[in-house]
Structures are given as structure tokens and as C-alpha cells.
Structure 1
């Protein structure tokens, strides 16, 4: 028998189903790409874990309206293709060293400039200093938004020779990691070879390079202790730091509702503490790991930085400042940070 209650229930059912369908349609999946090894839980490369923490945080803040797929190890696209894909809106998010954009945006080479940043406190001052504001402005004008500021220090792993000072690289084939690092190593007498960090293992294995500079996390994640005999590791100071933020396509960001934009920014900023803490922990873990593998390990201090600073200033810094009035201006701002 059809009662008023069952009739109303019947009328309500399509409306409820319609709302549920609309909610499902509103859910959107975003892709995060990087070229580092994947991780599991609390184990593995912290940069992949950082991306997964970010994804989980945003999903929770948006109650599932934003969902994520993380693609480690260049499994979605090639390493150097990521930044351009972000600019064009073909990639939603990426954890990418900003120096990899240096070919398109010369000012970004400053973010892996030898001896311009020598400790974590100085590195993280950039975010609110004029140099950080200019980097943010410039990237956004090119279609890319910084979501999480994250810096890493690193060291030099070598197969054949202990490296302490610039003259020690003379005659070696060195992977510098950035245009400016390569310029400095060349000025010190090395042959510089360019490649992303996920290609270093094979290059060391084949002898294409005999030494490499990269972040502490990459030195461990790519198992470079297996092919090296010597390590110059970061200590109380380091002669290089790398800006490796979580980036987002500005077109994609601008297309989000305000509440989702806020969720993305809040999750990104919250992760900065994790990024710094884990970077510093990896600097210490690097020393332990490579010593356990039987390598000769030296750690940098402020006194050791000065010779590297002198060579960098007279080569890489000079070259960077000469490229344009804007690169010269950016270098001055960096020196003031």
C-alpha cells in the first residue's frame, strides 16, 4: 500500500542520488611527479614521503574533493620535462629542483649556486627576504607557484681521490648538478658533466664521471656509496644548498575554488618543518651510512668553505652576474639574505 511517507521517500531518493553523483563528479585527481626513488610508510627517500604527506593532508583538508596520485622515479615524465609541464598546466604538482628551470629562466640558476648559501638558517631566510619574494614573483610570472619551500645540503662522492679543497678536483670528471656548479668545477680544473641526479649511478659505474656533487638524500637514495671511496659531507656548513620545493602549475592553482587553494597552501606551509628537519637528519645519516660502507668521510666546516667561496665568486658568481641586469640584481639580493 502506497502511503504518504513511502511516496515522499520515493521522491527523495532521486534527489539524494543526484547529490551523491554531483559530489563524486566534484572529486578531482591531481598528479604529483618527481624523479627520486619511491618510499613506503616512514622508510625511503623523504622527498617522496613529503609528496605523499602533502597529498594526504590536502585530501583530508578538502574532505576528499582533491585526491592525488604520486609518480616517483620519473615514472610519469622525464626529469627535465617536469618544469615545462608545470608551466603549461600539463602537470599539476612536482617536487623539482628550481635550478632545473635555469635553461628557461636564468635567474633560477641562483638556487643551486655554490657558496651563496652556506647553512640552513640562511637558506630558510630566503622565503621572506627580498630574494625569496623575487623568486616567487618570477616563477609565478612564468606559470609556476611555490607551495612548499624546501632546501637540501649535500656533498661530493668520489671514486679515485679524496676531495677537500677546489684544487683536489683538478683532472677529475665531475657531475656538478647545476650550470653554476659546473662553472666552478671547471675553474678548479675539472671536467664538468651535466645530468640529473637519477643518472649518476650509471655514470659513476661506467666511469663517465669520477666524482659527483648532489644532495645528501640523493647520495644515499641512489646508493652512491656502492661506487665511491671518498665523501666530502656537509657538516656545520656546506658550500652548496639546493632549493627543491613542491611546485604547482599556477593555471591549475588559479582554477581551484578558494577553499581548495587555502587547503593547498596550508598543507604546503605545514610541511616546511618536516622538510628542514629531515634534510638536516639526512646530512647526519649520510656520514654514518658512508662510514659504515668503509668510505673515507670528511665533513665541512666554515674554514673549509672559504676556498670554495673564493673560486665560486670569481667564476660562477661572476658569470651569473654578467648574463643580464636581472641576474646581477638577483645575485645582490641573495648576498644580502
Structure 2
């Protein structure tokens, strides 16, 4: 019996060794979660779905299960869910985690990023090196960069000048824009983009700022009368990368890391090609739905930047550790 037991143990050990050497261990399953609508053409969802498809095609014993539309984790809780191991990956507006790392507020700062081309230069700058270092300190890693332009929308009147916001209940995507709106005399409604439609519908909010992609995929044209589109004077750009928790990344073997990196680069290239189209699609969609579309003149955009300098930029520089240096690094990117 003893010999039989020893033989059984030896056979199990040999089988495990063979499994390790052939890479036939249990398949890795990663959970990817985000707040954006799935299967409806939202580019952020498509980025994650593309990564999942590419990884599956690489045949490296790894599957990525995608949970769109806040179906697994609430919109603002994705960062924490990565830290606790509830999810492995997310497509996430980084500013949503500024409660954990206030420096992330710089990735949604009025007028900081001026165009899609400027966003690409920002990606390669010391500013973004600093931001990514903080992301890694927080336990996550960037798989794919993504900057989205955005707009303002109102139920009642077009918002062109700061005084147009006076007295309005405005839903803002993050603290830095909220400070600018408040500086213009608005009161702030703090909710994620996935809840804006109902807030506008119920009169909880009268106006909003959000990304071009969200203006379309959340069908906000059904609630708005006027859209202030990015045009040549975009004030709103937000960093919404695809992230993976460091713990999940460290658990992958070299082949899996290589496949995930390649898939993420392909998804990033896809997004970069589509990001400008999002603005055009938004304008076309809103015009088709009889929403008035306007853009800011140089003078109007400057008036907003002046408000932001006295509010968002000032507070960020004073209150956030390293905030002044971060802003200076970003502003040095021409």
C-alpha cells in the first residue's frame, strides 16, 4: 500500500511538472469592468472588447470577461474594486479616483489639453510620466492611453460665456471642472455620467459637461436643447485609460503579458483613430435630433480659462501635493 501511495504521489508530481512545462495550467480569467454601455458602439467599451478578442486569439490560456454598463461594479468604484481584487481591469475616467490620489484631478483640468494632437504630445511628456508613477504606486498599471474630448450641454439655453452658467444646476465630471462652474455661479450636482440622463430628465440637473462619447452613448440629446461642442476651442479633455491591477499583472506569465500588451497597443491605436470621430459623430447626432450646436469663440474660451485659473488651477496648485509642478509640466507641452 505504501509503495502504491508513493507511486500515486510520484504520478501526480510528474503530471503537475508536465503541465507546468507545457503551459497547460488552469486558464487565467480576468474580469474587466467599466461604466460605459456595451454593444452600442461606445469606443471605450470597444477598446476593452478588442483587448479581450485579441488575447483570446493569442491562445495563451487567458480569457478576459468584460462587464460593461456598471453591471459588476458601480461607475465610481472601479478603482477601489481593482485594489480589493473584485476586478482585474477597467476602462476608467482617472479623475474618478482623485479622492484616493488628488493628483489625478490634473487629468481633467479645464483647458489643459487643447486638442487630440496635443493629447498625444501630453502622453509622451514628463507630466504623464509622473501621473503613471502615481497610478503604479496606487497598485495599477496603464495598458492603453485614452483621452476624450468633451462638451457642455444645457436643457434651456446655450452655454457660451461664464455668465451663462450663473444660477444653473450643473452636473460636472470632476472636481476641477466643478470648481470652474462654481466660479461662474453655478451650483454643482455630483453624479457619474451613467446617471446624467435621469438627473436631466428629473430636473436634478439643468446642464452637464461630459465626454463626446458619453453625450452620444447615454442619449443625452433626448434631454438637451443646446450643445457647446469642442470645435477649435476645446476646454474639456479627460484621461480614461485601460488599467490592470498590479497584482493581476504580476500573476501573468511572460507569454500572457506579451499578448495583453500587444492587444492593448492595438486597442490604443484604434481609439486614437476614433477619438476625433467621436466629436464629429456627436455634432451630427445632436443636429439630427434637433439640438442646437454652438462652439466657443477664442474670446469665450479665454473667459472660461480665466475663471479656471482663479479657481481650478489655483486650488489644485495650493491643495494637491506636487500640484503646482504637475500643472507646470503639463502647460509646458506645446
Q: Same fold (TM over 0.5)?
A: yes
Give the Cα–Cα distance (whole angstroms) in 1 for the partners of residues 282 and 319 of structure 2. 36
Cα displacement (A) at 1:325: 4.1
Any idea what SS the aligned residue of 1:265 has? helix
Give the Cα–Cα distance (whole angstroms) in 2 for the partners of residues 257 and 24 of structure 1. 12
- What does residue range 237-248 of structure 1 map to in structure 2 within 5 Å? 237-248=233-244
Any idea what SS the aligned residue of 2:238 has? strand
Give the Cα–Cα distance (whole angstroms) in 1 for the partners of residues 317 and 28 of structure 2. 43
- What does residue range 154-303 of structure 1 map to in structure 2 within 5 Å? 154-300=150-296, 302-303=298-299
Any idea what SS the aligned residue of 2:285 has? helix
Partner of 2:81 in structure 1? 85
State whether residues 88 and 249 of structure 1, in contact with CA within 8 Å, keep that contact through their aligned partners in structure 2: no
Cα displacement (A) at 1:301: 5.4
The CA RMSD measured in Å over matched residues stands at 2.1
Give the Cα–Cα distance (whole angstroms) in 1 for the partners of residues 309 and 170 of structure 2. 19
**Does 1:31 find its partner at 2:22?**
no
Partner of 2:96 in structure 1? 100
Structure 2 unaligned segments of length 5 or more: list them: 1-13
Structure 1 unaligned segments of length 5 or more: list them: 1-13
Any idea what SS the aligned residue of 1:217 has? helix
Task: Return the TM-score normalized by structure 2.
Answer: 0.91
Any idea what SS the aligned residue of 1:317 has? helix
Cα displacement (A) at 1:310: 1.1
Give the Cα–Cα distance (whole angstroms) in 2 for the partners of residues 299 and 324 of structure 1. 32
Give the Cα–Cα distance (whole angstroms) in 2 for the partners of residues 324 and 198 of structure 1. 28
State whether residues 93 and 249 of structure 1, in contact with CA within 8 Å, keep that contact through their aligned partners in structure 2: yes
Cα displacement (A) at 1:60: 2.1
Cα displacement (A) at 1:85: 1.5
Cα displacement (A) at 1:306: 1.3
**Does 1:112 find its partner at 2:108?**
yes
Give the Cα–Cα distance (whole angstroms) in 1 for the partners of residues 208 and 254 of structure 2. 44
Q: How many residues align?
A: 320
Any idea what SS the aligned residue of 1:26 has? coil
Task: Return the TM-score normalized by structure 1.
Answer: 0.90
